[in-house]
Amino acid sequence: MQFLNQLYALSKRNVILRYKHSLIGFLWGFIKPLIYLLIFIVIFSAQFSSVKNYVLYATSGILVWFFFSNIVSQGVQSIIQASGIIKSVKLPVLLFPLAEVATELFNLALALMVYFVVMHWFGMVYSIQLIWLIPILFIFSIFSFSIAIFLAALNVYFRDIGILWNTIQPAIFYLTPIAYTEALIPERFSFVIKLNPIYYFIKLFRYPCTMPQHLIHTCFLSVSASV
């Protein structure tokens, strides 16, 4: 109970700090993905006119990607940034990266609320299967959290880790089929994508939104087993 209070207090601090002194505050949560989306549409949509519901396809990928990349890049810095608190209050150190996960869940929830409505015009299918997003996000949070704490612990001793992460982040972004479809990848390079864990999560996230009839149960179980 006390732990939850502390988690809530820290997450609230994160939210306040992130949007302090910004004019549109919370709106950034869905304007940032929107800008990416517009860029993709301008650059890629002619290429992918064959893809059904390209906007929906790209949006779902972008949202999942930002959720992950924000958790990791904030989480990596969270422990060293909290050094003042850690040195004076007895607290479990993992609370700080965990609060970043909670913050991002909150941000994603806000963004999803808007995009669930907007995506109606881009071929979103509303069905009971959307409930699956909750356990999928839960597992994805655990995945992101574990990457974040691993890097955060290293970052305490070697600040190179935080810089390195920010540098390779775009590479991982383009290695994941977010803006393009996996069909585009030549057969002999498909292993690159198959080794990319984020790919599976994004795929999972897309199923309930685009084709709920699909047997996502089996897919879901196989991914959770692999995590």
Partner 1 sequence: MSTLLRLENVSVRYRTNHASIHSVKDLLTSFANPFATKEILSDIRFTLNAGSSLGILGRNGCGKSTLLRTIAGIIKPSKGQLVVNGSVAPILALGAGLEMELTGYENIELLLSLYGKRATPVLVDQIAAFSELDDFTLRQPVKAYSSGMTARLTFSISFSQQCDIYIIDEVMAVGDMGFQAKCMQRIHALQEAGKSFLFVSHFPDEVERICDQAILLDQGKLILKGSSASICQEYRKLF
Q: Provide the minimum distance between the beta carbon of 171 and partner 1 in the complex, in angstroms, as a whole number.
A: 21
| Closer Cβ to partner 1, 89 or 128, answer by number | 89
Binding region for partner 1 (CB under 8 A) out of 35-43, 86-94, 121-129, 183-191: 86-94
Can you list the alpha helix ranges (DSSP code H) found in 21-176? 28-44, 54-81, 83-86, 95-118, 133-157, 160-175
Cα–Cα distances in Å, from 127 out to 2, 70, 203, 207, 211? Answer: 37, 29, 18, 11, 10
Told to check if 191 binds partner 1 by CB under 8 A, we report: no
Cβ burial of 101 (10 Å; 0-12, 13-18, 19+) is: buried
Instruction: Annotate 172-184 with b (16+ C-beta within 10 A) or e (fewer).
Output: ebebbbbbbbeee
Which residue reads 């356990």 in tokens?
135
Q: Is 89 in the site for partner 1 (CB under 8 A)?
A: yes
Residue 65 tokens, joined: 């990607």
Total site size for partner 1, rule CB under 8 A: 21
Q: Which of 35, 52, 138, 158 binds partner 1 (CB under 8 A)?
A: 158
Q: Does 163 bind partner 1 (CB under 8 A)?
A: no
Is 126 a residue that touches partner 1 (CB under 8 A)? no
* Residue with the two structure tokens 């304007």: 31
Asked if 94 touches partner 1 (CB under 8 A), the answer is: no
Nearby residues of 188 by Cβ (< 8 Å), 6 or more positions away: none
Residue 179 lies near partner 1 (rule: CB under 8 A): no
Asked whether position 99 contacts partner 1 by CB under 8 A, the answer is no
Q: Could you report how far apart the first and last alpha carbons of the chain are, in Å?
A: 28
Q: Binding string to partner 1 for residues 3 to 32, with x set by CB under 8 A, is what? A: --xx-xxx-xx--xx--x------------
The distance of closest approach from Cβ of residue 72 to partner 1 in the complex, given in angstroms and rounded to an integer, is: 22
Residues forming contacts to partner 1 in the complex (CB under 8 A) are 2, 5-6, 8-10, 12-13, 16-17, 20, 84-91, 157-158
